[in-house]
Structure 1
């Protein structure tokens, strides 16, 4: 098994997996960028390939963060085993541990990590005019977009606009499209962690046929997917998924 997992490093070169080993439930990979950063404390990232946590992997790569990767296979139900439930009782990914604390829920994770690495300039700092809009769009994802998408996917009957927490599916989608009109990113020329959350989510929701393929969304995702850090993260996630498939064969 160790030899099989070590082959992941041959599948992509920009990101180095060092000291790959097994530790009970988890595959552990240490990601060191070899760059001196303002923040040198390590992050533990709980991840499963082919899941929503892929966007957190993208963020970590964009930040140039140093992190230890704990990989789970969702097809085997590893996220529901006792060892991980002691970390996150909800049994969900992504989750990060840092300085003895646990952070879950992607808007919270993105806010935390982007602030942790200010030198990457992926988060407007407090006092910048964009700080408020930036936090708004991170929160809008979790409070409006995700519930609207899941209600549509599960074919739940639409609630009256006056009582639905997010208004309506069309209202949410129209708001996102209007925000992208300033282009090329959510806040014009300024690329932020919020773009990683939104572009990755629009990508998969369009692929699943939940969100309509509007021109603004497709152009936004296309710009995003060719960023070097995103290319690295996608390759890494695919390699991890292949390792699970090979292990199950």
Structure 2
């Protein structure tokens, strides 16, 4: 049995969307937990085993997996027949794992730094910046509708999720805007959002 520690309207929302997209909800025990919120609400839940009190945290047979990109990779590898992943040996596997890692190593950091108003030569050299990240997305979407190959993957759900929270940051690039719309309008994505907004 899989257990997902989830806080509605948080980074773990995209994991719940992936689970729904994969059709594996019956295999997952969902544990709703509290986390500290940017507005000062919420707080650390002592029942949440995440070492930093965050979400998502996935438990499977005594092993814990944390960080969105790691959880997505774990789930799609655990269910290799799901079209949301690219299993070992698949021609698009390298692109798939690269995009998942790029999200956590580049994309989210540059957007967090921009939203926080932080600029420093060290961060510029390490992560680059939002314009460079946007150029990377635009280049990838110039020849296909999805990031990895000709089909949607968990990498698309992960990376587009940033724009679900910061719609005003969606670049004025028709390729990116169309891709974001394709990702965010999927029934698995919209249904989870609707349910969480109704809580």
Q: Does 1:178 align with 2:139?
A: yes
Q: Does 1:141 align with 2:103?
A: yes
Name the counterpart of 2:60.
98
Local SS of the residue matching 1:82: coil
Give the length in aligned residue pairs.
193
Consecutive unaligned residues of structure 2, counting only runs of 5 or more, are none
Q: Does 1:131 align with 2:70?
A: no
Name the counterpart of 1:47.
6
**Is the 1:152–1:210 Cα contact (8 Å) retained in structure 2?**
no
Q: Does 1:82 align with 2:43?
A: no
**Is the 2:145–2:179 Cα contact (8 Å) retained in structure 1?**
yes
Consecutive unaligned residues of structure 1, counting only runs of 5 or more, are 1-41, 243-249
Report the TM-score when normalising by structure 2.
Answer: 0.88
Name the counterpart of 2:79.
117
**Is the 2:33–2:45 Cα contact (8 Å) retained in structure 1?**
no
Name the counterpart of 1:226.
185
Local SS of the residue matching 1:164: helix
Deviation, structure 1 residue 131:
0.5
Deviation, structure 1 residue 211:
4.7
**Is the 2:164–2:184 Cα contact (8 Å) retained in structure 1?**
no
C-alpha distance in 1 between matches for 2:91 and 2:169: 33
Q: Does 1:107 align with 2:69?
A: yes
Deviation, structure 1 residue 103:
0.5
Deviation, structure 1 residue 238:
2.3
C-alpha distance in 2 between matches for 1:43 and 1:110: 13
**Is the 2:57–2:64 Cα contact (8 Å) retained in structure 1?**
yes
Structure showing greater Rg: 1
C-alpha distance in 2 between matches for 1:121 and 1:212: 28
Report the TM-score when normalising by structure 1.
Answer: 0.71
Superposition CA RMSD, Å: 1.9
CA 1:188–1:83 in structure 2 vs 1: closer, same or farther (change >3 Å)? closer
